[in-house]
Structure 1
């Protein structure tokens, strides 16, 4: 909804069509709920696209902006991963399923060379995947910066806030806090992180704690940690609304995600002065390289490589350098204006669409 509100603040009327809505509806934005049919996710996606069509045809709007892949969009906000790339990793039989045929058709309607849809891209990695699988022209992609909140920037009393956080969770100043942030432990790679902690030499492992902030089912990962002999070194905090305090209290952000279209927490960590170790496939991982604010785990992922990089970073003399590099990078780089830049793209698409319509009317 933040993009919709940004467009409203710029003087536009915004109508939202959705398959479901939870909570109070905004007064300044019209919300229309479209009932979908189907027992599976892919059949509901197909149903939504079909039932939406009468509302958006015949020039009803200056611009049709979608967060779901479907035909008829002027602009698609690419917040999801490339389905064709994911499907290519599966068996031939998977590509015979109704799910595959439905989802690939919807994705192709946006990214094929014959489509005219503009794409607001937030991930260089996923952009490359789309171009590889569909041959989508470069001119249809519009990269926008991350959209972190400025309260993620380390304040003058950052060290005091970090020390208070450590005291609160019972960790001493000389213990290493390797922090993970995010919900859905499976996708975020919590298993990979636990294996990496277990691989550390005893002298380092004894004073290192893996602190995991976010919603997820901890049971299987506690059992994994117990089996590997590191249960006492893994702390599940659960969901919190004070993530910035953890960023200020930790020594390293670990983000070995299996799949991550963006990875906003990577940018937030740099803003807080926290060195980062993340998988190269995370959408925002290129910022870590540009800033020289840590290391990236190469793709394809190899556990031993993560283990090596974690050990190198925890024992490196460059921790302070990576911290300063991250803060400096955030200070000189636009990592805040995602929605404003996206609104500019939508306005440009609407202008061109209206000009084309006027020219056709004239002929």
Structure 2
């Protein structure tokens, strides 16, 4: 079959983008043909992919996205596809991979009433409605069980259109046999002594992921503990505001903000704790990547995959509503309790051996290739 995948932007280190790539490769491996429509592509193009850079521009995202939709629609009219799969909400999709949370819920619970009078709101609300409305025929691949009730609350979407997928953690994130040697090497590379504690935060979109919260918590540690700690934040985002915050908090020499990179496993193995105090997060793939690497996790309950951390007893999950003082306190407790960190690490590794947290792409490919118009 000819498959058409649509996403606004591809770069190698985004969670949505990695989900797309694994799924497209899984479909290609079954003998199907992959065509990709995108406005921007960064990184290598897999062999056999037809990647079309859609030539659209506009002063606002909604204008660019509307023009993208029109351009793709015209191209598909000339060169039809058997399935049209979207990783962003837009009209005329056969399949939508629900990587993003419910826009309408965020607009009504996190914004004031005037926001719903803006052009931005009208555009994104209409695009979400095109996917989830009762008369839509789009099949929905869900990766967060927390979101389905919200979509159904606002749109009345039928149960049978939802397909809940397991997570899709890459097997190369699991701790290898030489994990101890790799841990020692990365700590030596960054000049970390035996008693030093490395905190890790990973994810593009530093604001959404709560990097500001992490910096405040690091600054609040007791001096005798805080002086032993370093924080590495890794992701594709503008670091200026957060570097300024680190300087204002007196943390400039203890915080490194790094661009997205491909050797994340080394950092997962070299760190002592993953911090992920997100404001909102549909899933939080990095939580499970830390779990399977044996790295304890401290996160917030808004993350769709936070329940896995609780089920595995692989760290701590902060209840909502979020309180900075609670994060500060729990971080200090976790860093002071080395036996607990060893236990959480062992629990995560044991969970990785038996839980189905790897087959997202394969299960999604089953739905795509077995459903459609």
Q: How far has the Cα of 1:234 moved from its partner?
A: 2.3
Matching residue of 2:96: 76
Residues 1:259 and 2:280 aligned together: yes
Matching residue of 1:185: 206
Unaligned stretches of 5+ in structure 1? 354-363
Residues 1:222 and 2:222 aligned together: no
Structure 2: distance between partners of 1:277 and 1:111 = 33
Matching residue of 1:108: 129
**Rg larger in structure:** 1
Q: How far has the Cα of 1:237 moved from its partner?
A: 4.3
Q: Cα deviations across residues 183-226 of structure 1 (Å, max 9, x unaligned)?
A: 33222221110110111122222222222233444443233233
Q: How far has the Cα of 1:121 moved from its partner?
A: 1.2
TM-score (norm 2): 0.85
Change (3 A) 1:64 1:226: closer
Unaligned stretches of 5+ in structure 2? 1-20
SS at match of 1:93: helix
Structure 2: distance between partners of 1:73 and 1:238 = 33
Change (3 A) 1:153 1:134: same
Change (3 A) 1:158 1:135: same
Matching residue of 2:105: 85
Residues 1:168 and 2:180 aligned together: no
Q: Cα deviations across residues 97-143 of structure 1 (Å, max 9, x unaligned)?
A: 11111110110111122322111111223334323332323322112
1:286 pairs, out of 285, 307, 314, with: 307
SS at match of 1:64: strand
Matching residue of 2:223: 202
Matching residue of 1:13: 33
Q: How far has the Cα of 1:77 moved from its partner?
A: 0.9
Residues 1:67 and 2:87 aligned together: yes
Matching residue of 1:122: 143
Q: Cα deviations across residues 234-258 of structure 1 (Å, max 9, x unaligned)?
A: 2334444322111111111001122
Change (3 A) 1:203 1:156: same
Matching residue of 2:369: 347
Structure 1: distance between partners of 2:79 and 2:239 = 50
Residues 1:45 and 2:65 aligned together: yes
Q: How far has the Cα of 1:57 moved from its partner?
A: 6.1
Change (3 A) 1:214 1:112: same
1:248 pairs, out of 262, 265, 269, with: 269
Residues 1:28 and 2:28 aligned together: no
Query: How many positions carry a matched residue from both structures?
Result: 351
Task: Say which is worse superposed, 107-116 or 45-54, in terms of deviation.
Answer: 45-54
Change (3 A) 1:219 1:19: closer
SS at match of 1:72: coil
SS at match of 2:56: coil
SS at match of 1:177: strand
Matching residue of 1:360: none
Matching residue of 1:305: 326
Residues 1:271 and 2:292 aligned together: yes
SS at match of 2:321: coil
Q: How far has the Cα of 1:288 moved from its partner?
A: 0.9
Task: Say which is worse superposed, 316-325 or 56-65, in terms of deviation.
Answer: 56-65
TM-score (norm 1): 0.88
Residues 1:333 and 2:355 aligned together: yes
Change (3 A) 1:217 1:29: closer
